[in-house]
Amino acid sequence: MNIIIAGGGLTGLSAALELSHHDVTLIDSKQELGTPVRSPGIIDDESLLISGVKDKIQFNNGCFRRSWLEKAMAIKVIEQGSQIMLKTRIVGYDDGLILKGSQIGIPEKMNADVYIDLLGEKSPYPGWFGDSKILRNEEMIRPPSRKLVNWKGGISISGGEYTRADGTGETWWRDEAPFIPPEGWLEQMSGEHPERISADAAIIRGIECAEKIV
């Protein structure tokens, strides 16, 4: 079965891995999967992680480098025979996905037996030029809508609520930061996430969408 997955985040990658026995193409507007993200590197259920990845993502006690996880998953998607198309925006749908790519060889239109919309529901942010709502009115497989709230996060060498294997800590908050590291933040993030701040939901939603395909 020919399947196109729109969206190369954790949810899209999870779906692609579950569907490796099909002919899968994953499309994303970013130039690289696994680039710095604005989402949490925290997980409650470690069994959701792909096999053998912990040593590659600085995993420690439920905390990890999320961008490294996405990169490892993207590599596995390709190793399993699926195709990833980057720097490709989905600009519409007319009996197939209408595409606009900045690379040579990107088709103007792609058709599939099944389309999975995993572009998400988050608002646009600097550096991302896609439109998460572009496919919303089309009949496709997609996860149910959910409530998202604004979160802020930071990475520091002073530790935090969650600490990776390299000693850096990850902290997330809704209103005011619980502490300010004296040396400053190594990285600051902000974005819309579920009320429970973890990566579990993103992975589960991708798996559940894949399970809808016979």
- Say if residue 204's pLDDT is above 80: yes
pLDDT at 120: 87
Q: Are 124 and 146 in contact (CB under 8 A)?
A: no
- What are the tokens at 195? 């009320």
pLDDT at 161: 86
**The 169-173 sheet, strands edge to edge:** 162-163, 169-173, 149-156, 187-193
pLDDT at 201: 95
Helix axis angle for 10-18 and 200-211, nearest 10°, is 40
CA dihedral of 138, 144, 150, 152, whole degrees rounded to 10 = -100
- What are the tokens at 169? 């800590």
- What are the tokens at 214? 């016979």
Q: Indicate the range of 27-36, 77-86, 176-185 predicted with least confidence.
A: 27-36
CATH code of the region 2-145+198-211: 3.50.50.60
Cβ atoms within 10 Å, residue 107:
13
Q: Where are the domains of the chain?
A: 2-145+198-211
pLDDT tens for each residue of 143-176: 999 999 999 999 999 878 899 999 999 999 999 9
pLDDT tens for each residue of 19-69: 999 999 999 998 999 877 789 999 999 999 999 999 999 999 999 999 999
For 4-30, letters b (16+ CB in 10 Å) and e give bbbbbbbbbbbbbbbbeebebbbbbbb
For 43-59, letters b (16+ CB in 10 Å) and e give beeeebbbeeeeeebbb
Average model confidence (pLDDT) across the chain: 92
Return the residue matching tokens 């599939």.
Answer: 112
Span 174-185, average pLDDT: 94
Q: Give the span between the Cα atoms of 163 and 36, in whole angstroms.
A: 18
pLDDT at 124: 64
Percent of the chain past pLDDT 90, that is, above it, reads: 83
- pLDDT higher at 122 or 81: 81
